[in-house]
């Protein structure tokens, strides 16, 4: 069994694969202060909920945008699983060529997303919109080349900045209001956040599709995708486990023995 760990700035997404099947998944808050032993305790508790233990795991694959957490997870894997993990980093085999000015700048999660997206739509250009701490757009060519993308503030990040910078605007639930023209402050803020983010995404996707020659498949992922995607017209569907699937594929390309 493969343990796949996707560490974002806000949340950590953990999954267990039995072969190609994602059999269980969990989300936890990302805390850079967490030690390797604390990560082990958290993972052990998650596994035990499904009747599993460390001994059932035969491989670990990690992608992380938090360097301190990456190191602690590597140490945790060696100490508790007694083998080294596959860490998505420059030099790892992914099957996707990174065609940007400095390939080392690309976040590991974005590479994993590109790998999974290309496997879903081989021979077609694909755009992945990831709704997280940042809203990112990643473009993969029909040949499986990572061409680059866009980075914008995530909806929660934008909301936090708005609340911190204004004295009279309070936090609102991140959901769409009844109409774009808000009749009160809460509805107006929801309109700006939800419809504004949807409009931003549609605009970026349309520009990217035009640069690709007028055609691309467009999919979304990320913990904050659901409130936004239904209000876009460019996104085909949501793939909530896209990054974990990418980790499984990368692991398989870097493990000669395979995983049960």
Determine the CATH number of domain 97-245.
3.30.420.40
Options 20, 44, 50, 109, the catalytic residue: 109
- CATH 3.30.420.40 fits domain 2-87: yes
Q: Return d(Cα 194, Cα 209) in angstroms, integer.
A: 22
**Cα dihedral 157→159→164→168 (10° resolution):** 180
* Averaged pLDDT of the chain: 94
Side-chain-side CA neighbours of residue 119 (13 Å): 20
Taking only the tens place, the pLDDT of each residue in 11-66 is 999 999 999 999 999 999 999 999 999 999 999 999 999 899 999 999 999 999 99
Q: For 214-241, what is the mean pLDDT? A: 95
Name the nearest CA neighbour of 4 among 128, 115, 120, 87: 87
pLDDT of residue 258: 46
Which residue ranges does the chain devote to CATH 3.30.420.40?
2-87, 97-245
pLDDT of residue 256: 63
Q: Return d(Cα 245, Cα 113) in angstroms, integer.
A: 8
Q: pTM for the full model?
A: 0.91
Confidence class of residue 186 from pLDDT cuts 50, 70 and 90?
very high
The DSSP result for 165-220, as a single string, is H-SSPPP--SS--SSSS-SSHHHHHHIIIIIHHHHHHHHHHHHHHHHTTS--EEEE
Taking only the tens place, the pLDDT of each residue in 96-124 is 999 999 988 999 999 999 999 999 999 99
31 is annotated as an active-site residue: no
Confidence class of residue 204 from pLDDT cuts 50, 70 and 90?
very high
């Amino acid at each position: 069994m493969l343990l796949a760990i996707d560490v974002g700035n806000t949340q950590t997404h953990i999954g267990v694969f039995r072969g190609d099947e994602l059999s269980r998944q969990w989300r936890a808050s990302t805390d850079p202060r967490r030690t390797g032993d604390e990560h082990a305790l958290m993972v052990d508790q998650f596994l035990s909920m499904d009747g599993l233990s460390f001994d059932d795991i035969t491989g670990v694959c990690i992608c992380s945008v938090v360097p301190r957490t990456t190191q602690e997870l590597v140490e945790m894997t060696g100490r508790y699983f007694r083998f080294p993990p596959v860490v998505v980093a420059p030099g790892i085999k992914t099957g996707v060529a990174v065609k940007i000015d400095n390939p080392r700048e690309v976040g590991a999660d974005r590479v994993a997303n590109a790998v999974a997206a290309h496997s879903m739509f081989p021979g077609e250009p694909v755009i992945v919109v990831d709704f997280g701490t940042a809203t990112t757009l990643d473009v993969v060519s029909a040949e499986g080349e990572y061409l680059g993308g866009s980075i914008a503030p995530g909806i929660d990040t934008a909301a936090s900045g708005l609340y911190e910078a204004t004295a009279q605007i309070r936090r609102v639930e991140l959901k769409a209001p009844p109409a774009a023209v808000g009749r009160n402050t809460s509805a107006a803020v929801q309109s700006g956040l939800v419809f504004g983010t949807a409009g931003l995404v549609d605009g970026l996707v349309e520009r990217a599709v035009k640069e690709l020659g007028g055609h691309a498949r467009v999919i979304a992922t990320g913990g904050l995708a659901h409130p936004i995607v239904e209000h876009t017209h460019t996104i085909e569907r949501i793939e909530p486990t896209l990054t974990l699937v990418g980790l499984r594929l990368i692991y398989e390309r870097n493990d000669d023995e395979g995983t049960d």
